[in-house]
Amino acid sequence: MDYIYTLLGAEMTEYADLTKCSYFSFECEALLAVGWLSANSQYETGDSDPAFFARLLELARSPWEPGVCMGYHECELCQFQPAMGKSNIFVPYQGSIYVAPELIVHYIAAHRYKPPQVFVDAVMTCPEMNSMDYKKALLANGGRSLVSKRNA
Ligand SMILES: [Zn+2]
């Protein structure tokens, strides 16, 4: 498994916030990227609401994911001993599904990355991970291909 991660994770993929995320091997028109930062990214910094950060941590603890393993991400903003993450967080909200790498927690905590407000709102209203309400929210916001991928 480690070998596969090395193979797939050789390069970090960068997407500007709120642009379409084509990182995954399946089609999902509703997916919008948040927090896919690289060393060259232009991104907003500033204080985040502690309540938002706490909620994001909860969602990141055991995120629901489509049944595909895509390799790991490494933080390109750290000078030494970069943080790593391999899961992704899917947050359905108002007709879109925002997808952030697990490292978004680290970007906010360590590098003061400030995600777009719509993502903050999405996180604050997101149902519990893996709950029936969460699955319903995925389906209601264009995530049918995600959910069916998971069940396949
Ligand atoms: Zn870092």
pLDDT tens for residues 22-78? Answer: 888 778 899 999 999 999 888 999 999 999 999 999 999 999 988 766 778 899 999
Q: Are 45 and 114 in contact (CB under 8 A)?
A: yes
How many structural domains compose the chain?
1
Q: Say how many Å lie between the CA of residue 133 and the centre of ligand 1.
A: 33
Q: Yes or no: say if 134 and 126 are a contact pair by the CB < 8 Å rule.
A: yes
pLDDT value of residue 149: 67
Q: Are 36 and 102 in contact (CB under 8 A)?
A: no
pLDDT tens readout for residues 63-113: 998 876 677 889 999 999 999 998 999 999 999 999 999 999 999 999 999
Dist. CA 63 → ligand 1 center (Å):
20
Ligand 1 center to 83 CA (angstroms): 5
The DSSP bridge partners found for residue 36 are: 15
Strands, sheet with 96-101, edge to edge from the N-terminal-most edge strand: 31-33, 96-101, 88-93
Distance 147 CA to ligand 1 centre (A): 31
Query: Which pTM value belongs to this model?
Result: 0.88
Residues of the domain holding 132: 2-151
- Report the pLDDT value the prediction gives residue 150, as an integer from 0 to 100: 63
